[in-house]
Amino acid sequence: MEEYEKKGTITIDYLRELGNIPSEERMKKGPVAMTECVQDIPCNPCAEVCPTKSIHMDNINDRPKVDFNTCIGCTLCMQVCPGLAIFMLDKSKEKPRLTIPYEMLPMPERGDTVRLLDREGKDIGEGRVIALLFPDKKYRSALVTVEVDDENLLLEARNLRVAGVKE
């Protein structure tokens, strides 16, 4: 039994071992997708929609593996992922940027400062919302891009909370 099956959270070390974390150089070149989908489950739309064929899977039950060299950071895989298991990392701008899928209310607005939460929902810092993308107009379900001061948050923050909303 894997540790994550017991707790429902995964460690950065485990993700690194799987080769799921893009290199420093790659992140410096521009946005890149990072998957946290580590089990063999019957799902593959991320691979199907990728315009650069950067997500590799041997069959529908295989876990996705991103080729960081060909990924162009277009977020299409994120938009379709039912597991909300893909995040976008970018260190090419003045400040590091992280994109998180978010389907809760209240929805933040551009310019808002939001609290960032880790994989257990613990408050670990803050970010400034610089972009919101709503893949489907019908729903308040968004990809939220935040700018952070602490670059460690790119690997650690996986959720957000609109400041002022109680836990």
Partner 1 sequence: MMDLRIDRHPILKFDRGQPLRFYFEGNERSGYKGETIGAALYSTGLKEFSHSFKLERPRGIFCAIGQCSSCMMRVNGIPNVRTCITPLEEGMKVERQFGRGEVPTNTEKRHIEKKEVETDIAVIGAGPAGLSASLYAAKFGAKVVLIDQNPRLGGQLIKQTHKFFGSRTHDAGVRGIDIAEKLVKEVRESENITVMSDATAFGYYKPSTIGVATMDTLYKIRAKKIIMATGAAEKSLLFENNDLPGVYGAGAAQTLMNIYGVKPGDRLIMVGAGNVGVIVAYQLLQAGVNVKMIVEAMPKIGAYFVHAAKVRRMGVPILTRHSIKRAYGDGKVEGATIVELDEKWQPVSGTEQDVDVDGIAISVGLRPTYGLLDQAGVDIHFVPELGGHVALRSRNLETSVKGIYVAGDVSGIEEASTAIMEGRIAGLSAVLDMGFGGKEAEEMREKVRSELEDLRAGPFGERIRKGLEKVEVL
Residues that bind ligand SF4 (CB under 6 A): 33, 35, 37, 43-46, 50, 52, 54-55, 64, 66, 71-77, 81-83, 85-86
Number of residues engaging partner 1 in binding (CB under 8 A):
46
What SS3 class is residue 158? coil
- Residue range at the interface with partner 1 (CB under 8 A); choices 26-34, 91-99, 138-146, 148-156: 138-146
- Do residues 129 and 108 touch, judged by C-beta distance below 8 A? yes
141 binds, among partner 1, ligand SF4, none (CB under 5 to 8 A by kind): partner 1
Least distance between partner 1 and beta carbon 81 (Å): 7
Residue among 78, 16, 101 nearest 24 (CA): 16
Contacts of 19 (CB under 8 A, 6+ apart): 65
**In the bound complex, what is the minimum distance in angstroms from residue 15's beta carbon to ligand SF4?**
13
At residue 34, the 3 state secondary structure works out as strand
Contact assessment for residue 102 and residue 115, using Cβ atoms and an 8 Å cutoff: no
Please tell me the distance from the alpha carbon of residue 118 to that of residue 65, in angstroms, as a whole number. 23
Overall size of the chain counted in residues: 167
Under the binding rule (CB under 8 A), the answer on residue 5 touching partner 1 is yes
Smallest gap from residue 143 Cβ to partner 1 (A):
13
Whichever of 48 and 109 has its CB closer to partner 1, that residue is 48
Toward ligand SF4, which CB reaches closer, 66 or 146? 66
Minimum distance, C-beta of residue 1 to partner 1, in the bound complex (Å): 5
Query: 70-94 burial, b if ≥16 CB within 10 A, otherwise e?
Result: ebebbbbbbbebeebbbbbbbbeee
**Contacts of partner 1 in 49-68 (CB under 8 A):** 49, 59-61
Q: Is 74 in the site for partner 1 (CB under 8 A)?
A: no
